[in-house]
A and B are shown apart, each in its own frame.
Chain A
Amino acid sequence: MHPILKLIAQRLALGLLLLFAASILIFVGTSILPGDVAQSILGQSATPEALANMRRELGLNEPAVTRYFTWLGGVLQGDLGTALTNGRDIAESLGGRLKNTLFLAFWAAAISVPLAIFLGLLAVRYKDRWPDKLISAVTLTTISIPEFMIGYVLIYWVAIKWRLFPSVAIINDSMTLGAKLNAIAIPVMVLTLVVLAHMMRMTRAAILNVMQSAYIETAELKGLGMLKIIRKHAFPNAIAPIVNVVMLNLAYLVVGVVVVEVVFAYPGMGQYLVDHVSKRDVPVVQACGLIFAAVYIGLNLVADIVSILANPRLRHPK
């Protein structure tokens, strides 16, 4: 077998193992939360008999290990259980929410990743001159301001003063793509500003690191121009660290946008999770946790695999 396939297979297996470990952590973590699910469903005035019935119904009297495997077995078959609070199928309600979250994350990424890499390249080209300093100053400022703050500032200017885009980002399936994009314009801007600096700085650092290499000098002594050197000789060797930071930020766009969703009343996963945490709806919390873990592990797995593929020594063994 090609050694690279072996490496990738190893990574995939490790990723699955990690996901399994995460599922245990999630289950244990939610199980040791104080309080009683039956109590919180039935309220303070419930009779002891009602509570006992409820516990039996929910399977809470079974040992934890049995409950874990029952839960895991269901998850593997696509059954995330039913929400305690409204009795709905979790997979169904979650599906729409996840789709919305991914929709927002996708557009934020589609704008921020190319922009960050382009700005990083530009910063390297004009290193220590005013474009570099300006890019660094602006992106560092936006990363330093809390995202809800950026959100409200943008709402004030873009939505209220200039009336360009709506301040509330409510979307549903009956809307056209254009209408949806119009609705999420401001949240996308906020997310872009939040993740831009990290990716831009890493692109800049990774390429500057490569620029110290002897082969960059070779390229300079061939008479190549700076931009061509960066594009042809530096960038291909800086892909691995750049992809890593891009994936970390993509993961953040999926699992870390709770605040932005709340600010814009966006019907995504984050809000769904927060709602149900406050209602102590354990199955929903477990399902959300598991999906977030899967996204995180999956994206990092992609970063790993891209790093492996970007290494010519692994791609073309002797």
Chain B
Amino acid sequence: MTEPLLKVRGLKIGATAYPPGEKPVAIKIVHGVDFDLEAGKVLGLIGESGAGKSTIGLAAMAYGRGGVEITGGEVWVNGRDILKENLRSLRRLRGAEVTYVSQSAAASFNPAKKIMEQVTEAAIFQNKFSKAEAEARAVELFAKLGLPDPENIGNRYPHQVSGGQLQRCMTALALCPEPDLVVFDEPTTALDVTTQIDVLAAIKEAIAATGVAALYITHDLAVVAQVSDHIMVLQQGDMVEYGTVDQIINNPKEDYTKALVSVRSINHEEKTPTDTPVLRVENVTARYKGTNFDVLKNINVDIHSGQTLAIVGESGSGKSTLARVITGLLPPSDGQITFDGRVLSPDLATRPIEDLREMQMIYQMADTAMNPRQTVGTIIGRPLEFYFGLKGKAKQKRIQELLDEIELGDGFQDRYPAELSGGQKQRVCIARALAAKPKLIICDEVTSALDPLVADGILKLLLNLQKIEDVAYLFITHDLATVRAIADSIAVMYQGKVVRYGPKSQVLAPPFDDYTDLLLSSVPEMKIGWLEETIEHRRMESAGN
């Protein structure tokens, strides 16, 4: 058997943490991982955040991000153990034999340089091609990746192309020097689902056309199933399972893999709308100060008490702006909002305190929504004091009740946000919102920053709390799986308009309007060949029209 392109043996990776006022602590991130990757094959690395996926990917370039250090093991690339090489020879490996595609192309392109210069830089610097050859190759790659105007797009600056286009440019950047291996680090995670499918297809085609091998890192099993030959499942720095895509998806052996495959197991029975909605949005049109463009155009939706309205749409569709209008942060230019039978003042500043209490918010980033210098007890206790004047024992008792409701045990009152995990932080934010005994909670992408299994737990908690507290949710998300899991009714937003609205069973059932169809069919399914099927299906349809 020939030597594999990439051979990793006993790879150990660590970092040093500097807790304030204490001695530096060595942290282990990856504890001994082995795998092989044959030339021209794609290996998917999958796991939740903190599993060590990116760290392992960068180890294929002998690179440690920040204070990360490779502490042991061997990484063989093209028959050389690159961990034994010095920086000088590593610099000939990076950007020539192994290249990298990051999650955020927007941050990974230098804003001050033209795209072409950055795409061809490594190929020219590494003496793989002359400038003219590299540029010709870049144009070829732009075309292969389906970028518009491939001849000239390289003359633009990064901010002059869209996020999806820039992600393709990043792929061109990685492929331009004709590497043997490309490390794709969550290349489509930051994209909208309708953009993701095209970029994914472009990446897959480019991999096939150039015959390059790839490490494909993602937390989304459905995505990795579309592009990989093999999958390695990682959990907290250990390999859990390794196998072909077919085996991992259809016949997972380990419990953890099974949990990843079957995630989003929530079954939620849709409730029928009541006669009197708790919140009624009527003919709302809104624009931001100093602009003459309506971000929201004539929005009409109802939320019924104790039920969930999911607002779904891509970034820029106006979802969060609607939340700002409802909360009074952005007074609408037209239309009105009725809450519990009374018309709300359009401006937050003039709303009475009771109106403020009855409508609470939970945010995407639990991290930045809490004061890092306050304990959990103080954070949850604040609305209790503010709205109900609770003090002393009564306040303590209520805080403990709320902590029990969000399934955090004793001892959390005195902890600081930094001592909590992502899921626990979001739970504290939920408790803070509940503390005000609201009738409506606006949840703005509350599970988007969480790992799938953790997000699942949060959604279950929210549904459970809805039963106990009879609170209504306005649930803003771009994730259709979340919508399926918890909504009673759905509003699909596109370019500031509600294009489809009604009970979940109706909205998610055909016949669809064009946009909802596109949105629904773009959600990756955990099925081998889904990508090709969908792309083929779309091609046929557009040919038919």
Contact = CB atoms under 8 A, between A and B. Distances in A.
Interface residues of B, number: 31
Among A223, A237, A310, residue most surrounded by chain B Cβ atoms (within 10 Å): A223
B94 interface: yes
Interface in B79-117: 90-96, 99-100, 102, 104, 107-113
Contacts of B125: 222-224
Contacts of B122: 222-224
Contact of A215 (B61, B96, B108, B160): B108
Interface in A257-281: none
Contact of A219 (B63, B96, B110): B110
A206 B348 CA distance: 39
B121 interface: yes
Contact of B108 (A217, A224, A232, A237): A217
Among B102, B104, B109, B110, residue most surrounded by chain A Cβ atoms (within 10 Å): B110
A218 B111 contact: no
Contact of A233 (B63, B100, B110, B156): B110
A34 interface: no
Contacts of A219: 110, 121
Contacts of A313: 111, 157, 159
Contact of A316 (B93, B102, B109, B160): B160
Nearest to B177: A222
Contacts of A36: none
Contact of B112 (A218, A222, A237, A318): A237
Contact of B96 (A218, A223, A312, A318): A223
B95 A224 contact: yes
Nearest to A237: B112
Contact of B109 (A215, A224, A232): A215
B102 A214 contact: yes
A224 B121 CA distance: 9
Among A222, A237, A312, A313, residue most surrounded by chain B Cβ atoms (within 10 Å): A222
Nearest to A234: B110
Interface string B109-145: 1111100001001100110000000000000000000
B65 interface: yes
A233 to B, nearest CB: 5
Nearest to B61: A221
A236 B65 CA distance: 23
A48 interface: no
A219 B118 CA distance: 9
Contact of B94 (A215, A223, A237): A223
A214 B108 contact: yes
A233 B118 CA distance: 10
Contact of B111 (A224, A225, A312): A312
A70 interface: no
Interface string B54-66: 0000000101010
A318 B159 CA distance: 7
A85 interface: no
A62 interface: no
Contacts, number: 76
Contacts of A236: 110, 112-113
Contact of A214 (B90, B94, B104): B104
A232 B113 CA distance: 9
Given A221-B100, A236-B113, A318-B159, A215 B95 contact: no
A265 to B, nearest CB: 46
Among B112, B126, B156, residue most surrounded by chain A Cβ atoms (within 10 Å): B112
Given A215-B109, A222-B121, A236-B112, A312 B100 contact: no
- Secondary structure at chain A's binding surface: helix, strand, loop or mixed? helix
A209 interface: no
Nearest to B96: A223
A213 interface: yes
A89 interface: no
B126 A318 contact: no
Contacts of A214: 102, 104, 107-108
Contacts of A222: 94-95, 99, 121-122, 125-126
A92 interface: no
Interface in A203-221: 213-215, 217-221
Nearest to A236: B112
Given A236-B112, A237-B112, A312-B112, A217 B96 contact: no
B157 A221 contact: no
A316 B107 contact: no
Contacts of B102: 214, 217-218
B318 to A, nearest CB: 20
Contact of B95 (A213, A223, A237): A223
A89 B110 CA distance: 55
A225 B107 contact: no
B110 A224 contact: no
A214 B109 CA distance: 8
Nearest to B94: A223
Interface string A284-300: 00000000000000000
A275 to B, nearest CB: 48
A223 to B, nearest CB: 4
Contacts of B112: 236-237, 310, 312
Nearest to A221: B100
Given A312-B157, A312-B159, A223 B108 contact: no
B110 A215 contact: yes
Contact of A318 (B108, B110, B160): B160
Nearest to A225: B91
A53 B220 CA distance: 92
A8 B45 CA distance: 50
B93 A223 contact: yes
Contacts of B93: 223
A318 B157 CA distance: 9
B480 to A, nearest CB: 29
Nearest to A235: B112
A224 B91 contact: yes
Contacts of B159: 312-313, 316, 318
B112 to A, nearest CB: 4
A311 to B, nearest CB: 8
Contacts of B111: 215, 237, 312-313
Contacts of A232: 113
A213 B94 contact: no
A144 B364 CA distance: 48
Nearest to B97: A223
Nearest to A212: B66
Contacts of A237: 110-112
A73 B539 CA distance: 75
A237 B157 CA distance: 14
A266 B110 CA distance: 47
Interface of A: 213-215, 217-225, 232-233, 236-237, 310, 312-313, 316, 318
15 contacts: A214-B102, A214-B108, A215-B110, A218-B100, A221-B100, A222-B126, A223-B92, A223-B96, A223-B122, A236-B112, A237-B112, A312-B157, A313-B111, A316-B157, A316-B159
Given A214-B107, A218-B110, A237-B111, 12 more contacts: A214-B104, A215-B108, A217-B102, A218-B108, A222-B95, A223-B91, A223-B93, A223-B95, A223-B125, A233-B110, A236-B110, A312-B112
Q: Which 9 pairs of residues, A with B, have the shortest CB-CB distance? A: A222-B95, A214-B107, A222-B122, A223-B95, A223-B91, A223-B94, A236-B112, A215-B110, A221-B100
